[in-house]
Homo-oligomer: A and B are copies of this chain.
């Protein structure tokens, strides 16, 4: 602490920003001729998927979007799930289709890719990942990745020319975020479990986005006072990694927030940082997809 303490640490408040976005999106929907529809295809009984879906239905309702949940039985086959996704693709009254994780299947890319890329508001199809990687300003960016970028922008943290470290290489966050940050002129490094010297990588970055699902991965001794830390990790306090932030006090991020917060320039908390941004970004993607 003492004189090293950074008294002006910005807290990147995703909960507050989500409310601002909620209002904006509500106004956009009001100006539309018809009610936008999001279809969520899920499998019954998958871990916490009910909670995740409830959050989306609630947010949708608050901005005037109809969220339809197609629930398949717990013992459904892969082809039944694929058929359910395709039915939503073909339904002209449906604007966006997402497949709720987790799923009781191993190869998730098949289901992600079954969504029509134009309705793929989770941004997980090969086509949208490829468009983001191509960097020509097209494609739908994965919701959490978009949430990170929107949160940084809200707090005037430009990534242009900055050294950005992304820890974690999931298809949901790390990979698309790296591609998007590159298009925004960041010098991007992606680190992961095989990275030889993660401490050194953290120390040399201007902005660190950590999406590893490993509580206390970043401690005070790892950070520097000019740094911006974005914490995307979500685990339950018992250490179990979860998919999305849920409304409970029992979630923690990858950063030891209390000891790091005063030692950096800006930091996002867990809960209340990137977590609330994911649902807001999902609905931004949905309204953008309507054209």
A residues neighboring B (CB under 8 Å): 109, 125-136, 138-139, 160-163, 169, 171, 175-176, 178-179, 182, 185, 187-192, 194-197, 201, 204
CA distance A125 to B128 in the complex (A): 11
Known contacts A129-B134, A182-B169, A204-B204: does B190 contact A194 (CB below 8 Å)? no
Contacts A126-B130, A161-B194, A187-B195 supplied; 17 other A-B pairs, CB < 8 Å: A126-B126, A126-B127, A126-B131, A127-B130, A132-B133, A134-B175, A135-B175, A160-B194, A163-B196, A175-B179, A175-B182, A185-B192, A187-B189, A187-B190, A188-B190, A189-B189, A204-B204
Set B138, B162, B175: member contacting A133, Cβ < 8 A: B175
Q: Evaluate contact between A187 and B182: CB separation under 8 angstroms.
A: no
Residues from chain B with Cβ under 8 Å of A188 in the complex? 189-190
Please, which residue of chain B has its CB at the minimum distance from the CB of A179?
B133
Residues from chain B with Cβ under 8 Å of A189 in the complex? 187-189
Q: Evaluate contact between A182 and B171: CB separation under 8 angstroms.
A: no
CA distance A175 to B132 in the complex (A): 10
